[in-house]
């Protein structure tokens, strides 16, 4: 029995090691291309250490990663649209998720199914209706309009995620608050919301990442070079007849820094929010 247990432990460690290598080796390859001044075009070899270590590419990407915008400008645009999408998805999605979790009303099942379909649809499915709607509202070529676009295709997932969290909170806790004279809003704000906060943090992070890394829809709703995002700037490098792979790698690494910082800030909530509880129909 002890030998079987040790064999299973060795196999588990081996599997985790292979998984870690599968994730870390591409990241190291990206860093190698970004820091190696010897890479001029398509990298054809993989090195454990850059042949000509340099920070020149990072300096260039900081000063002018796009034709008419600095890195700080692109980062500000990305944080605005992705952060706006996260905030709007949580604010508008929390009330709808709570209603689906706590109340029974006509059309509830149809609404849940419609949200599920919206969560499964690819983002390009929203292009035509959002293009027309934002054109009517005179927001189609603004960063606010792009934030609303990212909100539209991240909100269904956020609602389903937060609904599961609200459903996992026992009704007895709210009923006890009602007996003590609390209103429905007080019970939600003081009891249900704090208990569901880890799952809400996960929903906000997913909405942020969807907007932060998306670029295909952005080209449709952005017309000025100063309104580009970091993801759009990276995709623009690939459109060059002779793409600078070192520039792409450096900009990609620089783009990950805000995401890592955000994860470190929300780490406490994220690690405690993976257990979403049970979901009732």
Render pLDDT for 170-212 as a digit per residue (tens, 0 to 9).
Answer: 888 888 888 878 888 888 888 888 888 888 888 888 899 999 9
Point out the least confidently predicted range of 1-10, 173-182, 241-250: 1-10
| pLDDT tier at 144, thresholds 50, 70, 90 | very high
Provide the pLDDT for residue 173: 85
Provide the pLDDT for residue 276: 44
CA distance 206 to 37: 35
Please, what sign has the CA dihedral across residues 255, 258, 263, 264?
Answer: positive
92-102: buried (b, 16+ CB within 10 Å) or exposed (e) per residue?
Answer: ebbebbbebbb
CA distance 236 to 252: 12
Provide the pLDDT for residue 104: 85
Provide the pLDDT for residue 31: 84
Asked if 218 and 226 touch (Cβ cutoff 8 Å), the reply is: no
What is the residue whose two structure tokens read 């969807």?
210
pLDDT above 50 (res 279): no
Provide the pLDDT for residue 148: 92
pLDDT digits (tens, 9 = 90+) for 207-232: 999 999 988 888 888 888 788 899 99
pLDDT above 70 (res 41): no
| pLDDT tier at 280, thresholds 50, 70, 90 | very low
| pLDDT tier at 277, thresholds 50, 70, 90 | very low
Q: Which two tokens stand for residue 256?
A: 């990950």
Provide the pLDDT for residue 84: 94
Domains of the chain: 1-54 (no CATH), 65-272 (1.10.3720.10)
Among candidate residues 156, 106, 107, 152, the one with its CA nearest the CA of residue 127: 152
pLDDT above 70 (res 5): yes
Provide the pLDDT for residue 275: 47
Provide the pLDDT for residue 75: 93
pLDDT digits (tens, 9 = 90+) for 80-139: 999 999 999 999 988 889 888 888 888 888 888 888 887 888 878 878 888 898 989 888
What pTM does this model have?
0.82
């Amino acid at each position: 029995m002890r030998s079987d247990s040790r064999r299973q432990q060795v196999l588990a460690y081996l599997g985790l090691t292979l998984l870690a290598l599968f994730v870390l080796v591409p990241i190291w390859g990206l860093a190698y291309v970004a820091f190696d001044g010897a890479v001029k075009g398509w990298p054809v070899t993989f090195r454990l250490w850059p042949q000509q270590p340099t920070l020149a590419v990072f300096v260039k990407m900081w000063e002018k990663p796009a034709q008419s915008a600095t890195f700080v400008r692109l980062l500000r645009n990305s944080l605005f649209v992705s952060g706006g999408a996260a905030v709007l998805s949580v604010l508008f999605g929390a009330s709808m998720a709570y209603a689906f979790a706590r109340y029974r009303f006509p059309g509830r099942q149809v609404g849940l199914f419609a949200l599920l379909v919206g969560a499964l649809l690819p983002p390009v499915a929203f292009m035509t209706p959002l293009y027309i709607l934002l054109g009517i509202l005179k927001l189609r070529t603004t960063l606010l309009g792009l934030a609303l676009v990212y909100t539209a295709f991240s909100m269904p997932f956020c609602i389903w995620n937060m609904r599961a969290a609200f459903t996992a909170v026992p009704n007895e806790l709210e009923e006890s608050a009602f007996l003590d004279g609390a209103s429905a809003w007080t019970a939600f704000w003081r009891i249900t919301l704090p208990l569901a906060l880890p799952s809400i943090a996960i929903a906000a992070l997913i909405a942020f990442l969807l907007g932060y890394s998306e670029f295909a829809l952005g080209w449709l709703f952005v017309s000025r070079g100063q309104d580009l995002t970091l993801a759009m700037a990276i995709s623009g490098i690939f459109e060059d007849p002779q793409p600078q792979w070192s520039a792409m790698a450096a900009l990609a690494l620089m783009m990950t820094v805000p995401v890592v910082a955000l994860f470190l800030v929300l780490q406490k909530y994220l690690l405690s929010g993976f257990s979403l509880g049970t979901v009732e129909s």
